Structure 1
Amino acid sequence: MKELEDIVSAYDIALQQGKQTALATVVQVEGSSYRRAGARMLVTEDGQLTGAISGGCLEGDALRKARLVMAQQQPMLVTYDTTDDDDAKLGVGLGCNGIIHILIEPVYDTKEHNPISLFKRFLAKRRQVVIVTLFSLADRKLSQPGTILFLSNDEVIYNGNDATLSVSLQNDAKEVIKAGKSLTKSYLNEEGTEYTAFIEILKPAVSLLVFGAGNDALPLVEMAAVLGWHVTIVDGRANYAVASRFPRARRMLCAKATEALSLINIDAFTVAVLMTHNYNYDLAMLRQLLPLQLAYVGSLGPKKKLQRMLNELLDDGLDITADQLKSIYGPTGLDIGAQTPDEIALSILSEIQAVLQQRKGTSLRDKTTVINSPEMAALPVNQENL
């Protein structure tokens, strides 16, 4: 979510400076590409770019297209076919072998529900939402609707004027929230014109709870912040739990182990690492975290320390299920030969990322399939509108 946060921040600055802006969104990818559907870039009239839609090879051409969009005040669908030798001649040279469709739309500050305002609504709360971007692959000369729908479990915003299409999009958006995966689907509007919708699920940033404010937590917090994760530091020692030591942490709590969780909002996107170097504090936190069954709870230190804590909890009568044990990782981190605090931090964050993405953390060289397995199902035209 860091990319969206950066885009929102850049837009606010551009607005203060009176600059026009346009938003470029990768809406569909066929084959291989550097970025997947959902990658975004904000462009200002003077050429400032925030975010990315490729590895740097499409940005220059997209800037020129974005300036045209700002001048004409009309969205534009742009396609880069890297399977075509002509693209290489034009200097695109992606080094990939796919077709990338990018929708570029002007951002109107006068429009109440422009794309940036919808991003702000998403970032304001820790909840899953769906944003739908509508475009026409069948006829690029048609008006490209762009960002047309925002949906969460408690809010719906529709920017179009086709009631039938609105119902179909909302129904599919609700299914996307349930499934937790984005999809691409084609629809027919009331006039029988075919449009394609990128129905994208947006999830809150990872909330990382770091129990322990020692020096080895410093690089962990710094690296997590670079990823855009929201970090909360918890420690029972007042001389360690000092905000100035961790300027990139979202919260700093000095609390006893028995009080800490009552001060924290925990959701489905929360993970934790125990690194207080205080056995009793870690033990007390593990006792409380186990029943919550977070996606990831890491325990710094040797495996025998974790096993000792688990045995002690079992002896105290705590019922530990197999599913709860699956969420505990100790020693925390991937086996990358980490020795220094910085390397250990990299190891821990890499393991958390792998777990959250349900990956093994193996070398990409050894993969026998594409790097980015397709999340979006390409579905046929919605027959309800025929």
Structure 2
Amino acid sequence: MKEIIDIVAAYEIAVKEGKKTALATVVLVEGSAYRRAGARMLITEDGQLTGAISGGCLEGDALRKARMVIMQQEPLLVTYDTMDDDDAKLGVGLGCNGIIHILIEPVNDHKINPIILLKAAITARDNAVLVTLFSLEDRKAPQPGSCLYLTNDQILPNGLAILPYKNELLEDAKNALNSRRSVITAYQGYTAFVECIKPLISLVILGAGNDAIPLTRMAAILGWNITVVDGRPNYASVERFPSAKKLVIAKPEKVLESLEINEWTAFVLMTHNYNYEIAFMKDLLPVNPSYIGILGPRKKLERMLDELEENGAVITERNLETIHGPVGLDIGSETAEEIALSIIAEIKAVFTKRNGRSLKYKTTLIHSI
């Protein structure tokens, strides 16, 4: 999602400067590649690149082809076969061993274009599906490109109505939305990359001490929506937390009134104030957020849960699954920056349903599509 945000921002700058642009999207990968389907890059006519479709080995050639797309105003499907001797030089720097299909679309000033669909995905607070259609069988055939954006409450078609298989495609998009999984499907000589785009993680940090500063900085690099909460206005300030989207100065029982919480919201409690945190936890537990991280030793968490139960709080199995204390992955963290890294890594692993183990022990593909 961070890449999409950067691309949309770069596009808006290009529009203000009167520059023409094209959008390159990795739509299909066969074998191994540095980036998977869904990787994107915006190219301006003067050669500015935002985003990435590889580790740097394909961008130069893609730039040349994108300029042709901008000039002709027609989408183009480009294939790089890094298993072939002639194309191997493109991937040799990364050890790529796969076939990468990239669709390059001109971004014109039509009412709906690929960037409009990406902007809709940014503003959605729920899962969304973006369908990109292309032809592998006949590369001279029209390449429809980004033709549909779908959420539970919004549909943005982009040329979908003229497709003879529009009903099938729409049904497959709805299935992908429900299953929350991207898929590749085929229709009468065309292939569709039906991409499930997940919303940004919203990180709520309870505590505005110095150790919260590197946590907000790292979360900002990932593009997460950051809220910092504290009862002390001199701590929770814009000067100390410039990357926070929102600052909340409140007593613990008033904090939730200021927040919008969904399944993509993560909480990290690091106030170093036990009474503040236990008062907040009393209100937070019934909300059942997807992630609660608590800084400090395990005995602190055990004491907190015992006291909450003694005072009538109901702690469910779901609560125990989502509470992470001590917070973070075990990477040997000591400094505030290292602790922030371990927390960010654990939150990412939880939301992507991964175990946080080293990839060297993974026996299956890193990416499913």
Give the TM bin, normalised by the shorter chain: over 0.9
Q: CA, structure 1 residues 215+70, in 2 after alignment: closer, same or farther (shift >3 Å)?
A: same
Given candidates 350, 354, 358, the residue that maps to 2:349 is: 354
CA distance in 2, matches of 1:92, 1:302: 47
- 8 Å CA contact retained: 1:23, 1:42: yes
State the partner residue of 2:214: 219
Q: Which moves more between the two structures, 151-160 or 11-20?
A: 151-160
- 8 Å CA contact retained: 1:210, 1:272: yes
| Aligned-residue RMSD, C-alpha | 1.3
CA distance in 2, matches of 1:124, 1:257: 29
For the pair 1:151 / 2:146, whether they are aligned, the reply is: no
- 8 Å CA contact retained: 2:201, 2:264: yes
- 8 Å CA contact retained: 1:24, 1:102: yes
| Cα offsets for 1:252-305 (capped at 9, x unmatched) | 010110010111000111011000111011112222222222221100000000
Does the residue aligned with 1:258 lie in a helix, a strand or coil?
Answer: helix
Does the residue aligned with 1:181 lie in a helix, a strand or coil?
Answer: coil
CA distance in 1, matches of 2:208, 2:251: 13
CA distance in 2, matches of 1:153, 1:91: 39
Does the residue aligned with 1:305 lie in a helix, a strand or coil?
Answer: helix
Q: How does 1:74-93 map to 2 (within 5 A)?
A: 74-89=74-89, 93=93
- 8 Å CA contact retained: 2:331, 2:342: yes
Q: How does 1:174-189 map to 2 (within 5 A)?
A: 174-188=174-188
State the partner residue of 1:197: 192
CA distance in 2, matches of 1:257, 1:328: 18
CA distance in 2, matches of 1:92, 1:13: 34
Q: How does 1:136-285 map to 2 (within 5 A)?
A: 136-160=135-159, 161-162=161-162, 164-188=164-188, 194-285=189-280
The CA deviation at 1:93 is 5.0
State the partner residue of 1:291: 286
| Cα offsets for 1:287-336 (capped at 9, x unmatched) | 22222222211000000000000001111121211121010000001111
Q: Which moves more between the two structures, 70-79 or 279-288?
A: 279-288
Alignment coverage as a number of residue pairs: 368
CA distance in 1, matches of 2:246, 2:255: 12
- 8 Å CA contact retained: 1:82, 1:93: no
**5+ residue gaps in structure 2?**
none
Q: How does 1:32-181 map to 2 (within 5 A)?
A: 32-89=32-89, 93-109=93-109, 111-160=110-159, 161-162=161-162, 164-181=164-181
State the partner residue of 1:329: 324
Does the residue aligned with 2:236 lie in a helix, a strand or coil?
Answer: coil
CA distance in 2, matches of 1:368, 1:237: 49
Identity of aligned residues (%): 60
Amino acid at match of 1:58: L
The CA deviation at 1:15 is 0.8
| Cα offsets for 1:184-215 (capped at 9, x unmatched) | 10012xxxxx1111111112110000000000
Given candidates 340, 347, 350, the residue that maps to 2:335 is: 340
The CA deviation at 1:95 is 1.3
| Cα offsets for 1:110-164 (capped at 9, x unmatched) | x111011111222223222211000001111101010001111112122224354
The CA deviation at 1:98 is 1.0
Q: CA, structure 1 residues 284+345, in 2 after alignment: closer, same or farther (shift >3 Å)?
A: same
Does the residue aligned with 1:338 lie in a helix, a strand or coil?
Answer: coil
| Cα offsets for 1:52-79 (capped at 9, x unmatched) | 0011111011001101111111100001
State the partner residue of 1:382: none
Given candidates 370, 373, 378, the residue that maps to 2:365 is: 370
- 8 Å CA contact retained: 1:58, 1:92: no
Does the residue aligned with 1:85 lie in a helix, a strand or coil?
Answer: coil
- 8 Å CA contact retained: 1:87, 1:93: no
Taking structure 2 as the reference length, the TM-score comes to 0.97
| Cα offsets for 1:23-60 (capped at 9, x unmatched) | 00000111111111000000001100000001111101
CA distance in 2, matches of 1:132, 1:285: 42
The CA deviation at 1:89 is 4.4
Amino acid at match of 1:25: T
CA distance in 2, matches of 1:360, 1:150: 31
Taking structure 1 as the reference length, the TM-score comes to 0.93
The CA deviation at 1:238 is 1.7
State the partner residue of 1:311: 306
Q: CA, structure 1 residues 163+105, in 2 after alignment: closer, same or farther (shift >3 Å)?
A: closer
